[in-house]
């Protein structure tokens, strides 16, 4: 394997760069050493290659219209000049009537929605009869234990997956709700896999007992900081699960399905009781606690904003999205308050001693502070030993970790 750094132009170059990064990480080099500089340069090259090769997906046309309506505070009646009568507007927004070319031209000129978005085929989750069951990742769902033993033996797996969704009423709970989904990622995702994962989380949430009634406004910065301070305990993630139940928030751990790229999600099945789903996609405690805080921030800030689901790919989130910026800011404040961070040596000195000192002052796990130190300046070569030794999946041994 080559040990010199070269431009990444092909998939083979990309794989070699990843392998070289893995070798360097094992050495845990200091940033100002030759290996540390190689690691930083490789990280930049890989990020640049990924940004150019990962395809950008266009939003659903009706989702795009709804989003613009939300941005401009428009009512359905305000669309009449572009679409026609109020009944036509209602039929278009409910996906019962397709957009015509004249509507597309008017919407592009009047609301600034690109025609290439509006010309796409609209959401295919209109009614349950139109759902293509064979487009769900059935084999992967079967491998993960989504189906009970009787169902998994069924000859017709399409029938098995239909049976899987029946208790939670796919048409009612997903077809409409997913049109109001906030999915934060620059990467395209498999919508069917996303629905299957969501259904699994909701079904698991229903099995959790002794959950208090949720009251709006309960989740705030104070409560989030109390949750964060549970991280110092050996069984911190389990304590967080039990603590949140007392306030009506259900925490579910469910590994992500392929092509969903999920770290976490905030769900609301009935519009009242919030459910946080975490995938623990990265087996690290700093990631676990930041993702949990990020989802709690969505509950604190956005639960009354007419959106039933927030899905988060925190490695590749939309940095321009206001709600994501707000959730990131509140999550960071809950874990490492800005006032403490600004006056701490950890802000300037990327050393384990500085990380330990600040963690002890805040009463949180050292991996949380180490993660903050790495994210703040995008210097992911720091404190790799602390980060890599603080694993998260071990607390959830009953999960089927596929990767």
Give pLDDT tens digits for 200-256. 999 999 999 999 999 989 999 999 999 999 999 999 999 999 999 999 999 999 999
The tokens for 95 are 């996906």
In a domain, 72, yes or no: yes
Residues 275, 374 share a domain: yes
Residues 98, 129 share a domain: no
In a domain, 318, yes or no: yes
Q: CB of 356 within 8 A of CB of 347?
A: no
Residues 335, 224 share a domain: yes
Could you give the number of structural domains in the chain?
4
Residues 371, 299 share a domain: yes
212-217 — which CB contacts under 8 Å span 24+ positions?
212/245, 212/246, 212/247, 212/248, 213/248, 213/273, 214/247, 214/248, 214/249, 214/272, 214/273, 214/274, 215/247, 215/248, 216/303, 216/304
The low-confidence residues of the chain, meaning pLDDT below 70, are 1-3, 22, 25-26, 28, 50-59, 120-133, 149-158, 169-189, 269-271, 304-309, 315-320, 377-378, 403
Residues 239, 302 share a domain: yes
Longest dimension (CA), the chain: 68
Residues 277, 159 share a domain: no
Q: Which domain holds residue 218?
A: 180-192+202-403
Q: CB of 317 within 8 A of CB of 324?
A: yes
Residues 111, 210 share a domain: no
Q: What CATH number did the domain enclosing 91 receive? A: 1.10.260.40
Residues 214, 356 share a domain: yes
Residues 348, 222 share a domain: yes
Helix axes of 366-376 and 322-335: crossing angle, nearest 10 degrees: 140
Predicted structure pTM score = 0.67
Taking Cα atoms as reference points, which of 371, 60, 319 lies closest to residue 184?
319
* pLDDT value for 170: 55
Residues 150, 276 share a domain: no
Q: Which residues contact 351 (CB under 8 A, 6 or more apart)?
A: none
């Amino acid at each position: 394997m080559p040990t010199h750094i070269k431009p990444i132009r092909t998939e083979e170059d990309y794989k070699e760069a990843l392998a070289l990064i893995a070798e360097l990480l094992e050495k845990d080099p200091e940033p100002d050493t030759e290996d540390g500089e190689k690691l930083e340069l490789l990280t930049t090259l890989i990020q640049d290659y990924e940004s150019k090769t990962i395809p950008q997906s266009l939003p659903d046309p009706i989702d795009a219209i709804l989003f613009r309506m939300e941005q401009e505070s428009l009512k359905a009646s305000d669309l009449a000049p572009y679409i026609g009568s109020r009944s036509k507007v209602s039929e278009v927004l409910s996906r019962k009537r397709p957009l015509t070319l004249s509507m597309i031209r008017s919407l592009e000129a009047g609301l600034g929605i690109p025609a290439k978005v509006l010309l796409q085929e609209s959401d295919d989750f209109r009614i349950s009869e139109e759902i293509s069951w064979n487009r769900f990742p059935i084999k992967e769902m079967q491998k993960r234990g989504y189906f009970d033993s009787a169902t998994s033996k069924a000859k017709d797996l399409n029938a098995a997956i239909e049976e899987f969704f029946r208790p939670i009423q796919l048409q009612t709970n997903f077809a409409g709700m997913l049109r109001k989904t906030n999915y934060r990622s620059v990467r395209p995702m498999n919508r069917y896999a996303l629905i299957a994962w969501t259904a699994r989380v909701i079904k698991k949430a229903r099995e959790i007992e002794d959950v208090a009634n949720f009251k709006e406004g309960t989740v705030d910065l104070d409560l989030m900081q109390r949750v964060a301070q549970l991280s110092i305990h050996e069984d911190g993630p389990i304590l967080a699960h039990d603590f949140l139940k007392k306030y009506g928030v259900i925490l579910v751990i469910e590994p992500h399905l392929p092509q969903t790229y999920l770290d976490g999600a905030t769900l609301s099945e009935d519009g009242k009781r919030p459910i946080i789903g975490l995938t623990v996609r990265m087996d690290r405690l700093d990631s676990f606690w930041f993702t949990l805080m990020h989802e709690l921030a969505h509950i604190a800030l956005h639960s009354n904003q007419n959106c039933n689901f927030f899905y988060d790919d925190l490695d590749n989130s939309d940095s321009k999205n206001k709600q994501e910026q707000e959730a990131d800011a509140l999550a960071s404040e809950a874990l490492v308050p800005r006032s403490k961070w600004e006056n701490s040596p950890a802000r300037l000195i990327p050393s384990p001693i500085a990380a330990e000192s600040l963690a002890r002052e805040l009463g949180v796990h050292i991996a949380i502070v180490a993660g903050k130190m790495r994210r703040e300046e995008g210097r992911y070569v720091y404190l790799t030993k602390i980060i890599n030794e603080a694993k998260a999946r071990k607390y959830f041994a009953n999960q089927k970790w596929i990767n």
